[in-house]
Every structure is written in C-alpha cells, then in structure tokens.
Structure 1
Amino acid sequence: MGSNETFTDNEEAPTYAPSVPVPNVQELIKEDPLQVPQRYVREPEDRPNDTDMSHLSSLVPVIDFSLLLMGNKEELNKLDLACQDWGFFQVINHGVAKEVLQKMKDAAAEFFELPLEEKNKIVMPSNDIQGYGHAYVVSDEQILDWSDALILVVHPSHYRKLKFWPNSPKGIQEIIEEYSNAIRKLGTELLESISLIMGMEKEALLGLHKQLIQAYRVNYYPPCSKPDQVIGVSPHSDTSTITILMQDDGVCGLQLKHNNEWVPVNPIPDALVVNVGDVIEMWSNGKYKSIEHRAVANDNKARVSYASFLFPHDEVEIEPLKHMIHPKTKQQVYKRVKYGDYLRNSMNRKMEGKAHTQMAKVETLA
C-alpha cells in the first residue's frame, strides 16, 4: 500500500471547526421508526415541497470524461456551459474502476451497520470535524439535519488523524485510500480541463492551490416516517474548489437549486456528480457558479452518499483572476481572502444557502 507514513497519525495536522454534539439519527430510528423529534422538523417554508421537478433532472449536463481527456473542443464547451449555467454535471467514462466504487459502497454500508458503541470509538472531538458525528452544529436551538456523517481529511497524508479513521469493517482504511486516490486523480484532471476553459494553461489551477487538500465525507440518511418535514443536509454551497460525489444507484436524494426550483439529480449508474465550489466561483469572478444544493430524506430506504472535496492550502489567497474581470466594467465581485480563514468562518456557522460567502464579497455588492 505504499510507505508506512501513509498510516501514521499526526497531531500537527490542522483543525477546522468545533460542532455541538447531537443525537445519532440512525439510533433514533432504531428506537422508534415513527418518531421525528421536534429538533429535526423544519419551518413550513424550509420543507421540501410537493412540486415535482424530476422532469428537469434529465437537463443536468452529462460530460464524457474520456472526450475531455482528449481535449475534445465540443466536450470542453459543454463543460464551460455546465459550470456557468448549472454549477453541476455528471461525469461518465471517468476512469474510476467500477470495483473501486463498489468496494467503497460495501465497506461504508458495513460501517454504518456497526453497533453505535463501535462507531463512537471514532466520534468527532469537541474541537474538530474529523471522525463520526455531525458538523456545522453551532447551537442547541439549531434545527438539525436528518443524517449522520463520517468526515476525514485524506490528503496530504500528514493531515490525517488516524485515530478518527474506522478500523472495521476489516480493510476499510485501505478501501478509503484506494477510492480517494482514484477520485483525486479524476479531480486533478478535471481541474486541468477547467483551467483550459478559464483561458489558462492546463496546470495553472492546480498551481494556484499550493497544495491540493482532499477531504472525504460519507453521509448516511436513514428513512424518515415524515420525509416532507425534514432535510437530510441543509441547503448550502461547497467551500471547496470542486466536489466529486458518488451516489447510491437506486435512491435519489440530492437536489440542486436551478432558477429557484429544487431539481433532483437522479443517479446515473456508475457516473459521478461534480459540482463547482466557492473557490472556482471566486477565481472566475462569478462566471462559474457554486450552486446551492441539499439532500432530502425518503420514507422507505436509507441512502448513503460519498463526497470528496478538493480545495487549496490554508495559506492561499483567493481573489478573482485578473483575466476573469470584465475589461470594460472592471467590476470585481469578490475581494481577496485567505482560504483558511474563509473555510473556518463557514464551518463555524450553520449551513444557510450561500450566506457564508458574504465574507468574501466586495462590500458594495453585498
């Protein structure tokens, strides 16, 4: 599996944000499948509504990655439009082996079926978000998301806090490693294509990161007896550069906001979902959109999703790239911010759409 260094723990790794400990949703369901505690019930205006937008799902762009790799102009153009109009796309022919995807799904399913005391061996500490539990909980009054999560920083390896990595099922650490390496390779190549559509050399975007950091979050959404009253993950945009998500094939739960409607992103077997993060929106001065999205629950089946976040080193200063600012208006939508400050500021608040991006906005436009 490579050097021993891969699985050594490091106390010097950065911490990100504290989160208030809250109940485990999966356990609540085991105790009483019909119970939906008040702390999870959304205000009527925040609930998933009955309007079915699934007919728009087929409009979410699908990019053939094998064509992108060849520098196909038409596919690059599709990518450009997807990043501008949707901020989301699904990737097919992405090169991540089917068995790698399946092994990750099987291992995660086994992990979430473990007894609570086993999962709690890697429970999140009071000062950080690595481990098993809930992030972005900042107060006891906050309405909670209908999900549990496992969150790990996977790259660079010296940022790993291995005491928060699961030991069971057997081999899960190696499976996370193998999956994350494959996703990282895909993410790196996607960033090269995004660099091209932004009018730069292929390696330019990667260079701007100083170091490409990678975090991994597995979300577990138990079934809910009143799915129309809860939200699996609150509406938010991602603080990453890009996010690559694997969905469960048979269960839809991801929705993105498009023209003020919530559009479901129906899983395409073996495809991966990619979305533009806040960092690309800032570097592109708002040309490419980091879109609000959320996850909804359903009443009969648990759902698991697997999100890999790629983002810059803490010390990187993010601001619109000169050539992305319109030469006539010269209007800059974002000011310069240090990425580490931006990331922690957003993690220290509850998820509320794009409210966290205000700290990076030029005041006159806020």
Structure 2
Amino acid sequence: MQGKGVTLNCTLPVPSVQELVRQQRPDALPPRYLRDDTVVADHHHESLQDLPRIDLGKLMDLASRSTELRNLDSACREWGLFLLVNHGVSDEGMRMTKENVRGFFELPHHEKQKSAQRPGSLEGYGQAFVTFHDQKLDWNDMIFLKCHPPHARNLDLWPRNPPEFRMALEKYGEDMRKLAEAVAKYIGMALGIHEEELDLLAKSFGEGSCQVRMTYYPACPEPERAVGMTPHADATGITLLTECGNVAGLQVLRKDNCWVTVPPVPGSIVVNLGQIVEVYSNGTYRAPDHRVVVNKEKERVSIATFCNPSPSLPVGPSPQLLAATGLPPIFQTLSNSEEFMQRFYSRKLLDAVPFIDSLKL
C-alpha cells in the first residue's frame, strides 16, 4: 500500500466517477469502489423526520429568542446537526448558485479538467484525501475552492464556465460567511457565553475563512456496496450544507450508533457543527460523525461551506464556560484555527487515534 505515510494536505489524482458512469455504464462496481468494509445496506430503513429545526428569525426576535435558544442548545447537545430555516439567504442567490454548480458538473470532462487539482493541493476538481494508490475510493467527484478571505482565492482554479459561476460563488460565499457569523453568535449564547467573549466568537467567524466543496454523486449500480463519502466528523468550526435537489444522501450517526438519513427540506440549510465548536464547548456540543450514501437511480449534488474562525480566536474550551461550570478543560488550547487545521492536515489517513481524541488532555 504505497504512500500510506502521506499526510492529508494533498491528494492523488483519480479517475472521474462521473466519466466512468457516462462512458462505461457499469452494472457492477469497479473494485476500488467496493466498500464492503462499511455496512451501508440498511441505509434506507430510517429517515430522520424529527431532525431539529432552528428558526433564525426567532433567534433574532427578542420575544422568541429564549425559547429558540433552548431548542438550539438541545439540538447541539443531542445531534450537533440541525436544519436552519428562515435563514435570510435570498432565494435568488441560492437558485443561481445551485444552477451554476449543476452546470459545472454538466460540462464536458475536458472543460472541468481546466480546474483540476494541482500536485500537493486539495483545491480544485478531483477527489479529497486520496493518499495511497490502492486506497478504496468514494463514489463522487468534487470541486473544492477557497472563497474567503478574498486573497486566499486561487482564481486559476475557479471555473470560467458556466459564465456566471464565479459571480454566483463569490456572492454565495459571502452569504455563507455572514450566516456563519450569526450562527456562531447564537451557538455561543446557547452555551451561556456573553459580553466580550461572545463578541469575539461572532467576530472571529465573520473574519474567518470559508471554503466551498461542491460534490456530484452519480447514480450507482450497487449503492449498498459503495460510499458517497466516507464516515467522518468535520475538522472545522461550522459547516453549512445546501442540497441542489430533493435526493437524500446525507446520514448522521445517532447517539445509539444508528445511521439515519437527513431528508432534504426545500429552502433550508443543514448546519453541522465541526470539531472546533466541540472543543470550544468543552465537549458539551457534538461534532457528529456523518457520511453520504448513494442512489441507484438518481444523481445528487450538494454544496458544503466550511467556516472557520479567524486567528483572533484561540481554539480551546471557552474560559467563560469553564468558569460557569467549574469543570476542568478536557481539550488543550491551541493558539488559533490555523494551528488547529495544521494539526489536522499533518495527520495520516490511517492514524488509529481519532483527531478529536488527539486534542484531549
């Protein structure tokens, strides 16, 4: 298994799954996509109809805020994942972004290849975290781009086709950055954070980084033996997920170790807490394990925005929370989110200790 010592900050080139399906129309999975090591056969048995829904408008309204903060606190403790409704992002902006992302994946392969990942980088069109040559592969193609701050953008990788792709993504990234700032503020309030520390938390997400992963999951000949995305928890602050259609695929691991499907809800955004928030909450809130399953008949397209705080915020348990609870910190404190992410990317794919556990005292 060549290359297993390679860290996660680069990825090997792999064939396009979309092209494999288009050209070969296989009735069975190629060997590298067979994932019998991961049980997915029962993924249709339960759908999470009662996933918490949090109304951003109610959080903004003083009359309804306290009740909705209690709902938010419960969602973050029990699930670490919730549907955000009444979020204020314009329907037109969402529609335009979804159309352009779908349009990109509908382009000829040679056109998409203009945005292909460069050696030693995760950015661009390809697949993430492929670190050795006989590694089992996920059933997806993706394009991963840095959106914020603007100076971090590698515009050589930003598609010029469809013609409105760049404009749509720039506006969408800004909308997600503002939304992450608001969500971080109310998560802090739900934890009991206030005054200067709360202001610093919200401001740091407003000034932090946003990266967008747009993923295409083709129809799959043997969906019970493939994985659209390998189970993982996000090593981020907050992830905001938009579905580009009504095909389910996202699953979250419940506390009883049962995988349940998150059904698409038109107009909503799925908020998924990352491990930076789990550390900040001293383990009170969860960064849930989640995965993606695939469909035999239908393709699926999604847009995930990974939002991290700025270097102004140390990544460690909240000082106010520790003082209020009297509990000892269970995680170490790192200087900022950049150090946190460097720790994550310096790991190896097959490290035995989960990343979150490597941060424990």
What SS does the corresponding residue of 1:294 show, helix, strand or coil?
Answer: strand
Unaligned runs of 5+ residues in structure 1 are: 1-15
Q: How many Å apart are 1:118 and its aligned residue?
A: 0.7
The structure 2 residue matched to 1:317, chosen from 305, 314, 317, is 314
Q: How many Å apart are 1:90 and its aligned residue?
A: 0.2
What is the alpha-carbon distance in structure 2 between the residues aligned to residue 198 and residue 302 of structure 1? Answer: 39
Q: How many Å apart are 1:108 and its aligned residue?
A: 0.9
Task: Indicate the residue corresponding to 2:301 in structure 1.
Answer: 304
Are 1:335 and 2:327 counterparts? no
Q: How many Å apart are 1:194 and its aligned residue?
A: 1.1
Contact 1:53-1:262 within 8 A present in 2 as well: no
Q: How many Å apart are 1:316 and its aligned residue?
A: 5.1
Indicate how the Cα distance of structure 1 residues 43 and 352 shifts in structure 2: closer, same or farther if over 3 A, else same: farther
TM-score (norm 1): 0.88
Q: How many Å apart are 1:324 and its aligned residue?
A: 2.6
What is the alpha-carbon distance in structure 2 between the residues aligned to residue 203 and residue 210 of structure 1? Answer: 11
Q: How many Å apart are 1:188 and its aligned residue?
A: 1.1
The structure 1 residue matched to 2:121, chosen from 109, 128, 138, is 128
Task: Indicate the residue corresponding to 1:358 in structure 2.
Answer: 357
Structural mapping, 1:209-288, within 5 Å: 211-258=207-254, 259-288=256-285
Mean CA deviation greater in 338-347 or 34-43: 338-347
Q: How many Å apart are 1:191 and its aligned residue?
A: 1.1
Q: Output the amino acid matched with 2:260.
A: V
What is the alpha-carbon distance in structure 2 between the residues aligned to residue 252 and residue 281 of structure 1? Answer: 26
What is the alpha-carbon distance in structure 2 between the residues aligned to residue 208 and residue 110 of structure 1? Answer: 33
Are 1:110 and 2:106 counterparts? no
What is the alpha-carbon distance in structure 1 between the residues aligned to residue 250 and residue 353 of structure 2? Answer: 17
Contact 2:43-2:260 within 8 A present in 1 as well: no
What is the alpha-carbon distance in structure 2 between the residues aligned to residue 133 and residue 83 of structure 1? Answer: 32
Q: Output the amino acid matched with 1:215.
A: Q
Q: How many Å apart are 1:67 and its aligned residue?
A: 0.5
Are 1:159 and 2:152 counterparts? yes
The structure 2 residue matched to 1:143, chosen from 127, 136, 152, is 136
Contact 1:62-1:89 within 8 A present in 2 as well: yes
Indicate how the Cα distance of structure 1 residues 329 and 140 shifts in structure 2: closer, same or farther if over 3 A, else same: farther
Residues 151-188 of structure 1, C-alpha deviations (whole Å, 9 max, x = no match): 01100000111001010011110000111112222211
What is the alpha-carbon distance in structure 2 between the residues aligned to residue 353 and residue 236 of structure 1? Answer: 14
CA RMSD of aligned residues (A): 2.2
Mean CA deviation greater in 339-348 or 23-32: 339-348
Q: Output the amino acid matched with 1:245.
A: L
Contact 2:219-2:298 within 8 A present in 1 as well: yes
Contact 1:154-1:216 within 8 A present in 2 as well: yes
Q: How many Å apart are 1:354 and its aligned residue?
A: 8.2
Residues 122-168 of structure 1, C-alpha deviations (whole Å, 9 max, x = no match): 11111111111111111112211111111011000001110010100
Q: Output the amino acid matched with 2:266.
A: P
Percent identity reads: 32
What SS does the corresponding residue of 2:247 show, helix, strand or coil?
Answer: coil
Q: How many Å apart are 1:342 and its aligned residue?
A: 3.1
What is the alpha-carbon distance in structure 2 between the residues aligned to residue 112 and residue 319 of structure 1? Answer: 39
Q: How many Å apart are 1:275 and its aligned residue?
A: 0.9
Indicate how the Cα distance of structure 1 residues 336 and 174 shifts in structure 2: closer, same or farther if over 3 A, else same: same
Contact 1:124-1:133 within 8 A present in 2 as well: yes
Q: How many Å apart are 1:335 and its aligned residue?
A: 1.0
TM-score (norm 2): 0.90
